[in-house]
Amino acid sequence: MTQFTDLGLSQPVLQALDMKGYTEPTPIQAQAIPRVLEGRDLLGIAQTGTGKTAAFMLPSIDRLRDADKQTPFKSCRMLVLAPTRELAGQIAESAKDYGALAGLKVHSIVGGTSVNKDRNKLHRGTDILVATPGRLLDLIDQKAFRLDGVEVLVLDEADQMLDLGFIHALRKISELVPADRQTLFFSATMPKQIQELVGKYCRNPVKVSVTPESTTAERIDQYLFMVQQDEKQTLLELVLSERHQVPGKFERVLIFARTKHGCDRIVKKLGQSGIPANAIHGNKSQPQRERALDEFKRAKTPILIATDVAARGIDIPGVSHVINYELPNVPEQYVHRIGRTARAGKDGIAIAFCAEDERDYLKDIRKKTDAEFERLPLPDNFRAVVEGVGPTKREPKQRMAKPKVRPTGNAAKAKPKQKHSNRKGKPAGAGQGRPQGGRPGGNRNRHRNRRRSQG
Ligand SMILES: Nc1ncnc2c1ncn2[C@@H]1O[C@H](COP(=O)(O)OP(=O)(O)OP(=O)(O)O)[C@@H](O)[C@H]1O
Ligand SMILES: [Mg+2]
């Protein structure tokens, strides 16, 4: 087994890793770090949650230290671009941790915050800058920042950065960085047509691919409800209130919907049923986004409804379940969404709500990721419950201790709560035939065997 000490990293970086409690490198770190230290351009592909941030940050910190240049005025030595504000902030925090003993200055700049403050803080330059492209270009346009000091350029979530939404900004940025910089691309997915663009931005890159591209993280058990669109809200309420059991014990539940409006609607309806939840999406103010994420992290509000703004890169320990309330129409996005669970060697559960008109998306996801879904049955008398004529009586409105939530309204009309077995929250009876939760470990083992057979 490779150790961090075998990879050629400096003592301050090794000590910082020790402080983080990392004992050994992940496969992408073991493979990418020596090549980045050599100064090679690199395209790194590895599953979600496997430590790609450290794979580019650790060797870059050492290269910056070795080059021993002055921090450039109104510029930076390492530029990391990320697609969302939250991810940029998170990468900057990681850079501070990994570089804690390296004596490098780290800053991040993102939209939705004061541009004047950013201008002031970058006046004297910084060693490492993590940015979203829009804010970076704002500062460049205002002549408050330059890119001529850049020695290392990193595109995290590279396939998204090279896709339509960002490609214009990226073209501009790439014209402003020195031609002899080192360029690093990282993602869990890299569709072929996007990969063809990689060559335009770097020189003879080494490709390090730990698993086949678009592989979902190994430790995620994937389940599926076939459910009509107009039944989804009721199903969600039943599931979150544990009136309809699904595998796994809820800790934090991240729910993806397709639109901002859709997220708000779900939050509102959950609220009406006594289930507190927050939403995060592009129409929320930056303080609202930060508060929602913070309350989710602290498990104060352990249910978060999100658009794809939260699909990529976000690392929150303790996300036990990811629910795709609506399936993404791009299969790669499914890989990133469910990758918010099962990080750093942990297990996780993904549940897809698939309506009739989403079957094609499901087919694409299956084809692209090779994922196996275990189908879960709908609650008894479900249609009657949806239509408000369900068999059980309405319960008085009440809130219960977090993270469990007890609903009122429609959700309260479902069948009474089943007993849990004591194994990982699987429903009682799981293992006897194939009731709701399926065979304990069955899905996971099948999933893993399949991976193994692929080599
Ligand atoms: N060698 C290691 N040992 C233990 N934990 C690690 C190691 N490397 C990274 N981690 C932890 O693993 C988690 C995931 O890391 P990171 O966010 O870099 O994953 P990623 O591969 O970039 O995922 P994504 O594709 O979702 O962006 C983080 O909490 C990080 O602290
Ligand atoms: Mg990442």
pLDDT value of residue 247: 98
Out of 29, 52, 53, 333, give the residue to mutate to test ligand 1, the one with the largest number of ligand atoms within 8 Å of its CB: 53
Tell me how far apart the alpha carbons of residues 394 and 244 are, in angstroms, rounded to a whole number.
Answer: 16
pLDDT value of residue 309: 97
Pick the range with the lowest mean pLDDT from 41-50, 105-114, 115-124, 438-447.
438-447
Out of 97, 160, 335, 343, give the residue to mutate to test ligand 1, the one with the largest number of ligand atoms within 8 Å of its CB: 343
For residue 112, pLDDT over 60 is answered with yes
Give residue-wise pLDDT tens across range 375-428: 999 999 999 999 987 654 344 444 433 444 444 444 444 444 343 333 334 433
User: Ligand 2 mean position to 188 CA, how many Å?
Assistant: 8
CB atoms within 10 A of CB 261: 12
User: Ligand 1 mean position to 356 CA, how many Å?
Assistant: 36
Could you tell me what percent of the chain has a pLDDT over 70? 85
pLDDT value of residue 127: 98
Alpha helices in 274-352 (DSSP H): 286-297, 331-338
Tell me how far apart the alpha carbons of residues 129 and 156 are, in angstroms, rounded to a whole number.
Answer: 13
Ligand positioned closest to the Cα atom of 44: 1
The bridge status of strand 152-156 relative to strand 206-209 is: unpaired
For residue 170, pLDDT over 70 is answered with yes
CATH topology classification for 4-209? Rossmann fold (3.40.50)
pLDDT value of residue 1: 84
Residue from 227, 188, 219, 195 nearest 311 by CA: 188
Equal CATH topology for 4-209 and 220-386: yes
pLDDT value of residue 391: 53
pLDDT value of residue 419: 36
Could you tell me what percent of the chain has a pLDDT over 90? 82
User: Ligand 2 mean position to 51 CA, how many Å?
Assistant: 7
Give residue-wise pLDDT tens across range 52-77: 999 999 999 999 999 989 999 999 99
For residue 448, pLDDT over 80 is answered with no
Confirm if 42 and 35 have CB atoms less than 8 A apart.
yes
SS3 300: coil
User: Ligand 2 mean position to 118 CA, how many Å?
Assistant: 24
CB atoms within 10 A of CB 330: 17
Tell me how far apart the alpha carbons of residues 82 and 87 are, in angstroms, rounded to a whole number.
Answer: 6
> Residue 132 gets which letter from DSSP?
-
Confirm if 375 and 254 have CB atoms less than 8 A apart.
no
Confirm if 395 and 417 have CB atoms less than 8 A apart.
no
Tell me how far apart the alpha carbons of residues 219 and 44 are, in angstroms, rounded to a whole number.
Answer: 20
* 168: exposed, middle or buried (Cβ count in 10 Å: 0-12, 13-18, 19+): exposed
Ligand positioned closest to the Cα atom of 23: 1
- Read off the tokens for 131: 């940015």
Ligand positioned closest to the Cα atom of 314: 1
Sorted by where each begins, the domain ranges of the chain are 4-209, 220-386
Confirm if 1 and 23 have CB atoms less than 8 A apart.
no
Amino acid at 118: D
Tell me how far apart the alpha carbons of residues 109 and 115 are, in angstroms, rounded to a whole number.
Answer: 9
Mean pLDDT confidence for 37-64: 98
Residue with the smallest CA separation from ligand 1 atom 16 is 51
Tell me how far apart the alpha carbons of residues 170 and 163 are, in angstroms, rounded to a whole number.
Answer: 10
**49 within ligand 1 shell (Cβ under 6 A):** yes
Residue with the smallest CA separation from ligand 1 atom 22 is 52
Residue with the smallest CA separation from ligand 1 atom 15 is 51
Confirm if 98 and 58 have CB atoms less than 8 A apart.
yes
Residue with the smallest CA separation from ligand 1 atom 1 is 25
**188 within ligand 1 shell (Cβ under 6 A):** yes
pLDDT value of residue 390: 62
**CATH code of domain 220-386:** 3.40.50.300
SS3 156: strand
Q: Comparing 168 with 441, which gets the higher pLDDT?
A: 168
pLDDT value of residue 315: 98
Average pLDDT of the residues of the chain: 88
- Read off the tokens for 264: 């708000």
SS3 293: helix
Tell me the residue ranges of DSSP E strands in 326-430.
Answer: 348-354, 374-375
For residue 198, pLDDT over 70 is answered with yes
Tell me the CB-side half-sphere exposure of residue 205, using CA atoms within 13 A.
24
Residue position matching structure tokens 């360029």: 183
